[in-house]
Chain A
Amino acid sequence: MKRALPLYAAFAYLFLHVPLAILAIFSVNASRFTIWDGFSLRWYRAMFADRDLLESAANSLIIAVAATVLATVIGTLAAYALWKKASPWLAGSLYLSLVTPEIVTGISLLAFFQWIFRYLHLRLGMHTVILAHVSFSIAYVVLVVMARLRSFDVALEEAALDLGETEFGAFYRVTLPYLAPAIAAAALLAFTVSIDDYVITSLVAGVDSRTLPMVIYAMARRGVNPVLNAVSTVVVAGLGGLILISERLRKA
């Protein structure tokens, strides 16, 4: 067993990473087919020339940042309040948002927006996508922050109260700093979930708010496209770099 385990782990990691590595390798293949034809950056050039693609990437980033900030704030406050005293309805609704299949969430939000837009004269756009993303991200944030809260000694807060702090002050100056790593982790999780979402976004995005996953899906449906290889390499490298940086920051 001592030897079997690391061997198995090696294969498992290969299984996880090789497909992405292959995409990266073929993203610099001059030929558009699976035969190696020489090194070339033409697919990266094509990628940067695609206005639609770049615009959708920008949209994705904007939406992810906005949704992350909102979800993290709302979720952290919610987690704290729920930790102090449980609320079965709210906890239940958060559970529900986690376990509801994405297609159902998307369709229900679409139905809701279409119904409400008859009275509000709005249309689908960045705001609907951000709202949708905030909605499904909150549960993840609450999950992560709650986990950290469980190991928090409430006596510390009580001590602060004894020393004259308000309820809010105790939260802000004692608990919140303790939660900082969890909040950072939750934000990272919310960001990833938002930037990668396809199903829900595709249903509630309007004309002006196409996101990167939507463009990728449209391209993937039409078959193998080396530009997509280039996109995937950039995305993996980008997000991977983000992870490494955040790990470094965490340790510093």
Chain B
Amino acid sequence: MNRRRFLEHIAQTTALPTAISLAGCSSAPRLNVYNWSDYIAPDTVANFERESGLRIRYGTYESNQEMLAQLLGGNSGWDVVFPSADYIGPLRDLGLLAPIRHELLTNLDSLDAEFRTPPWDPALQWSVPYMYGATGILYQKQLVPAPQSWADLWNPAWSGKVTMLDDAAEVFGACLKKLGYSLNSGDPSELRAAAEEAGKQKPLLRAYLNAEVRDQAVAGDVAAAQAWAVTAAQAIAAAPERLAFVYPREGFVRFADNMAILRESRRVEAAHRWIDYLLRPPVAATIVETTRTATCNGAAYALLPESVRKDPVLYPAADVLKRGEWLEPQSKGSQRLRDRLWTQMKSS
């Protein structure tokens, strides 16, 4: 046995693992889709794969920040993502988005008129609206008195049973509304006041949860929660006799999640096919029925059964909707301040 034979031995033992790891690189043609959790019907992906011959890798996230953190490197590997409206501007400014080619989308006109020219992307150059929603309060019906406003979530009687979303824009939004200011305020004194309110609420809270709160509300662990309408609708569907949802009196966040293609994607045509597929009215209608989301797709909305179309949680009356405010991207300085206040509040 000499050193050369030993080297050969080592090479053989390590060749296999190295080969295995490199093998992972050459895979079947795939489209990588990164979406919110529970935002698609169980068979949508399978149906699309069957029809198009493409393979979808479908990943999920729980927050915009989680999604953004992955994308910042510029080579995350994802092709299609679903950012909220207030992230479209920043993503575009960071150069992370690829332009949407309308000629590849045959179903674009099935979008609801409001979402055909949305305020955050009037020409739909970078995004295609997918689902919209709002943030309100999900609560147990047995709670007396029933919560009607954000201020109610500061009730010390419910200490330990209330949750808020784990999102600075949402929590500060609720606090700003409680104080009577605009959700999108960039005013430092208003923001500080809001942060102070959030700080006062923190000891009363059970936890900061996003969509995770759904199962806990259904199980009865949580009495009241700041929740997205989508999450609430899903929870109520699972336990209709126990849960209810309300759009707070002071006002609330309206958001819309959009489909966007990343500039780094090398499968732009395939990405457009996926987006076009999701725009198809029957497909969108199926998704809405299984996941209880509010679709931006007007043609799909028309296909829905009356009970769903009239659902006050997902499609509230116009006068309720008027109290809502769309979340807008912040200026650099305002974003910095908000981030810093969030860290401070969470750390205290």
Contacts and interface: CB of A to CB of B under 8 A. Distances in A.
Nearest to B38: A222
Given A206-B76, A221-B212, A166 B21 contact: no
Contacts of B75: 117, 121-124
B16 A224 contact: no
Interface of B: 1-3, 6, 10, 13-14, 16-18, 20-22, 24-25, 27, 32, 34, 37, 57-60, 62, 73, 75-78, 211-212, 214-216, 219
Contact of B212 (A69, A126, A223): A223
Contact of B20 (A66, A73, A124, A169): A66
Contacts of A127: 21-22, 24-25
Nearest to A221: B212
Given A66-B17, A69-B13, A172-B6, A221 B62 contact: yes
A130 to B, nearest CB: 5
Interface string A217-230: 01001111100000
Contacts, number: 92
B17 A207 contact: no
B215 A207 contact: no
Given A114-B73, A124-B77, A173-B1, A208 B57 contact: yes
Nearest to A224: B215
A132 to B, nearest CB: 12
A62 interface: yes
**In terms of DSSP, what is the predominant structure of the interface of chain A?**
helix
B228 to A, nearest CB: 14
Nearest to B61: A218
Interface string A178-219: 000000000000000000000000000011111000000010
B57 A207 contact: yes
Contacts of B219: 33, 223-224
Contact of A73 (B14, B21, B73): B14
A207 B212 contact: no
A62 B23 CA distance: 11
Interface of A: 33, 52, 62-63, 65-67, 69-70, 73, 114, 117, 121-127, 130, 166, 168-169, 172-173, 206-210, 218, 221-225
Contacts of A210: 59
B21 to A, nearest CB: 5
A245 B323 CA distance: 65
B20 A62 contact: yes
Given A69-B13, A73-B13, A169 B1 contact: yes
Contacts of A130: 17, 21
A126 B60 contact: no
26 contacts: A62-B24, A63-B21, A66-B16, A66-B20, A67-B17, A70-B14, A70-B17, A70-B18, A121-B75, A124-B73, A125-B25, A126-B24, A127-B24, A168-B2, A169-B1, A173-B1, A206-B76, A206-B77, A207-B32, A207-B76, A207-B78, A208-B77, A221-B212, A222-B37, A222-B211, A223-B216
B252 to A, nearest CB: 24
Contacts of A73: 10, 13-14
Nearest to B4: A168
B79 to A, nearest CB: 9
Given A73-B10, A172-B6, A222-B211, A125 B24 contact: yes
Contact of B18 (A63, A66, A209, A223): A66
B17 A69 contact: yes
A62 B20 CA distance: 7
Nearest to A77: B10
